[in-house]
């Protein structure tokens, strides 16, 4: 299921090359420890947790709350584990912008080189559908621009993707995990979080089952009739108090999308999402007609402390100390080398230290 979302302010600037080098080394060492201790799937589980991901971004020295933590940490993981990941049966694809759009090609290239427990078509489909759901079926004003698809050799997968809302100057990160996900179009997520939740139209919410079904029925009606309905609704707009996301889109380009849906005759909402040209505006149009024609109304449905480990890129809570961050990943790398040689003492010591620190934080934070 999608395991959560994270909302982050947009920050400008770039990650300095010297810091990115350390981030690659430390994030790779941390994930290697997880693989050694619990296997590749545990990495998917951790990355799919927005709190853990944010803590990772903090501990490797990036800004504790900026939007850049998503793209930079994913890039550091992908580069830092480019060799070790495939050896462990863990693969990282996608990224920002054009790289995100190239994700299916990357998945296919990996499938050509390594035996996988799931067909390449299933993995490509999961990548495309997770992006389509968050960009079209969950209409929260955020445009997806970063898509990071992670999968194991046995076929489990996870997604870390991010959308941007330039008007609000906010970015939102979406996390997915394949295990326990039964349906892409009904509650694939554990949470939808939004500062303006009353303006979020979530087609995949359980409460919107009727809305989804009616949208599919609308797609099976001739495009001419849909356009007539939309124009009729548009004439009455001055006297209606409609929410912002129900603005009527231009009907010219809608003809093409509606005709594509009409030709495909989708039988369910998942098939409707796959039709080329069916995006947020077309779904809103179908939904609006459904509301008027059928009376179907939709339902609108602390990692910061880790930044104190090595500081942050912009100097908060203090500037990154290169010696400290380098010491951290060299310690992990040394413990991993010894563990692979049959000497687990250092890794066990790190586990005990982690447990002790967690208990100490819990005790100290208790009122």
**Based on the domain organization, do 181 and 246 belong to the same domain?**
no
Q: Is 236 contained in some domain?
A: yes
| Distance between CA atoms of residues 169 and 65, nearest Å | 13
Which residues are bridge partners to 340 per DSSP? none
Residue 5 tokens read as: 């979302």
Residue finishing a domain among 136, 166, 199: 199
Cβ–Cβ under 8 Å, residues 60 and 76: yes
Query: Which residue segment(s) compose the domain that 153 sits in?
Result: 2-199
**Based on the domain organization, do 149 and 32 belong to the same domain?**
yes
**Based on the domain organization, do 216 and 124 belong to the same domain?**
no
Cβ–Cβ under 8 Å, residues 274 and 299: no
Q: Is 77 contained in some domain?
A: yes
**pTM of the predicted structure, to 2 decimals:** 0.76
| Distance between CA atoms of residues 108 and 113, nearest Å | 9
**Based on the domain organization, do 104 and 229 belong to the same domain?**
no
**Based on the domain organization, do 158 and 279 belong to the same domain?**
no
Which residues are bridge partners to 85 per DSSP? none
| Distance between CA atoms of residues 16 and 291, nearest Å | 51
Render pLDDT for 284-325 as a digit per residue (tens, 0 to 9): 767 666 655 445 566 554 555 555 566 666 665 567 778 777
- The residue length of the chain stands at 367
| Distance between CA atoms of residues 116 and 9, nearest Å | 38
**Based on the domain organization, do 145 and 189 belong to the same domain?**
yes
Beta-carbon contacts of 95 under 8 Å, excluding residues fewer than 6 positions away, are 71, 74, 75, 78, 146, 147, 148
What's the Cα-to-Cα distance from 110 to each of 43, 83, 92, 106, 159, rounded to whole Å? 19, 12, 10, 6, 17
* Region of 34 on the Ramachandran plot (φ > 0 left; ψ -120 to 50 alpha; else beta): alpha
Give pLDDT, residue 192.
Answer: 45
Task: Count the domains in the chain.
Answer: 2
Neighbours of 190 (CB within 10 A): 14
Q: Is 263 contained in some domain?
A: yes
Give pLDDT, residue 149.
Answer: 98
Give pLDDT, residue 125.
Answer: 96
Residue finishing a domain among 229, 261, 294: 294
Angle between helices 68-80 and 17-38 (to 10 degrees): 70
Cβ–Cβ under 8 Å, residues 177 and 158: yes
Residue 72 C-alpha from the chain's centroid: 14
φ/ψ (deg, to 5) at 100:
-60, -45
Angle at 203 (CA atoms; ends 200, 207), nearest 5 degrees: 95
**Based on the domain organization, do 74 and 178 belong to the same domain?**
yes
Prior bond of 317 cis (ω within 30°) = yes
| Distance between CA atoms of residues 303 and 73, nearest Å | 15
Task: Tell the residue number behind the tokens 């080398």, with chain if given.
Answer: 337
**Based on the domain organization, do 268 and 227 belong to the same domain?**
yes
Residue finishing a domain among 165, 199, 233: 199
Cβ–Cβ under 8 Å, residues 156 and 126: no
**Based on the domain organization, do 93 and 141 belong to the same domain?**
yes
| Distance between CA atoms of residues 66 and 100, nearest Å | 20
Q: Is 123 contained in some domain?
A: yes
DSSP 19-34: HHHHHHHHHHHHHHHH
**Based on the domain organization, do 115 and 242 belong to the same domain?**
no
Residue 211's SS3 state is helix
Render pLDDT for 166-222 as a digit per residue (tens, 0 to 9): 887 788 888 899 987 878 888 775 444 444 444 567 788 878 888 888 888 888 888
Give pLDDT, residue 66.
Answer: 59
Which residues of the chain carry a pLDDT beneath 70?
A: 1-13, 62-67, 189-200, 233-254, 285, 287-318, 349, 352-367
Beta-carbon contacts of 189 under 8 Å, excluding residues fewer than 6 positions away, are 1, 2, 3, 4, 5, 138, 174, 176, 204
Residue 322 tokens read as: 């290169």
């Amino acid at each position: 299921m999608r395991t959560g979302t994270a909302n982050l302010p947009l920050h400008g600037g770039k990650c300095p090359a010297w810091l990115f080098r350390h981030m690659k080394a430390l994030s790779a060492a941390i994930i290697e420890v997880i693989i050694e201790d619990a296997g590749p799937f545990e990495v998917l589980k951790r990355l799919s947790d927005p709190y853990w991901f944010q803590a990772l971004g903090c501990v490797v020295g990036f800004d504790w709350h900026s939007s850049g933590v998503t793209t930079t940490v994913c890039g550091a993981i992908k580069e830092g584990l480019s060799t070790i990941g495939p050896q462990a049966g863990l693969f990282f694809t996608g990224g920002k912008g054009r790289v995100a759009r190239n994700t299916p090609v990357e998945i296919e290239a990996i499938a050509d080189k390594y035996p996988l427990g799931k067909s390449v078509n299933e993995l490509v489909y999961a990548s495309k559908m997770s992006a389509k759901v968050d960009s079209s079926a969950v209409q929260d004003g955020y445009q997806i621009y970063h898509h990071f698809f992670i999968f194991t050799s046995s076929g489990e997968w996870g997604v870390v993707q991010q959308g941007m809302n330039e008007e609000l100057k906010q970015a939102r990160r979406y996390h997915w995990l394949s295990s326990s996900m039964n349906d892409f179009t009904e509650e694939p997520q554990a949470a939808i979080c939004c500062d303006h939740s009353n303006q979020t139209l979530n087609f995949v919410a359980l409460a919107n089952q009727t809305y989804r079904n009616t949208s599919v029925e609308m797609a099976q009606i001739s495009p001419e009739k849909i356009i007539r309905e939309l124009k009729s609704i548009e004439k009455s707009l001055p006297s209606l108090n409609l929410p912002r996301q129900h603005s009527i889109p231009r009907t010219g380009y809608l003809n093409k999308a509606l005709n594509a849906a009409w030709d495909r005759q989708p039988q369910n909402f998942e098939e409707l999402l796959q039709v080329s040209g069916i995006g947020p505006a077309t779904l809103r149009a179908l939904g609006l007609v459904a509301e008027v024609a059928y009376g179907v109304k939709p339902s609108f449905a602390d990692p910061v402390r880790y930044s104190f480990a090595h500081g942050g890129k912009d100097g908060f809570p203090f500037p990154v100390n290169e010696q400290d961050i380098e010491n951290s990943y060299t310690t992990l790398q040394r413990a991993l080398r010894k563990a692979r040689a049959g000497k687990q003492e250092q890794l066990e010591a790190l586990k005990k230290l982690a447990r002790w620190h967690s208990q100490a934080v819990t005790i100290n934070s208790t009122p």
